[in-house]
Structure 1
């Protein structure tokens, strides 16, 4: 015959200590999550700023090739005129 299993006894103090440990861990996680959310908001603001800067650069870039093409055509016309005058 085997003796009855006495089981495991967890005192109320041990239970309370474990609950406090878990609660403290949760508080730390909430703080870290708040920090992550702040960082994400900052990243979103930076991304929007970079996007607007890129859009402005792209909008201001178009005159350069046009000016180059006009200068090229003007040079070609000047060369033709110079050839015809000789």
Structure 2
């Protein structure tokens, strides 16, 4: 059996629980919004990095070309030194 004192406390406790729930939900919503913002920024950063890597890959020289060019220069230097002596 409930007394009048106990029945007055129940609505106050329910109101306190509702306030706590509202505050908790507001915190969760705020954190989710922050995570969404971070996710969008990360996606932009990834797209930027992918574009930069693609540009670097496009402008780099292939390794066999560098090796061949170095060999030609080495041969030219060797011939130049042999002709000079």
TM-score w.r.t. the length of structure 2 is 0.71
The yes-or-no answer on 1:20 pairing with 2:45 is no
Distance across 1 between alignment mates of 2:17 and 2:42: 37
Query: Aligned-pair RMSD on alpha carbons?
Result: 2.5
TM-score w.r.t. the length of structure 1 is 0.70
The yes-or-no answer on 1:68 pairing with 2:47 is no
Gapped regions of structure 2 (runs ≥ 5): 80-85
Gapped regions of structure 1 (runs ≥ 5): 1-7
The alignment of Structure 1 onto Structure 2 pairs a total of residues equal to: 77
Q: Deviations over 1:32-66 (max 9, x none)?
A: 11011011001100110011001100111023334
Counterpart for residue 46 of structure 1: 38
Structure 1 or 2: more helix by fraction: 2
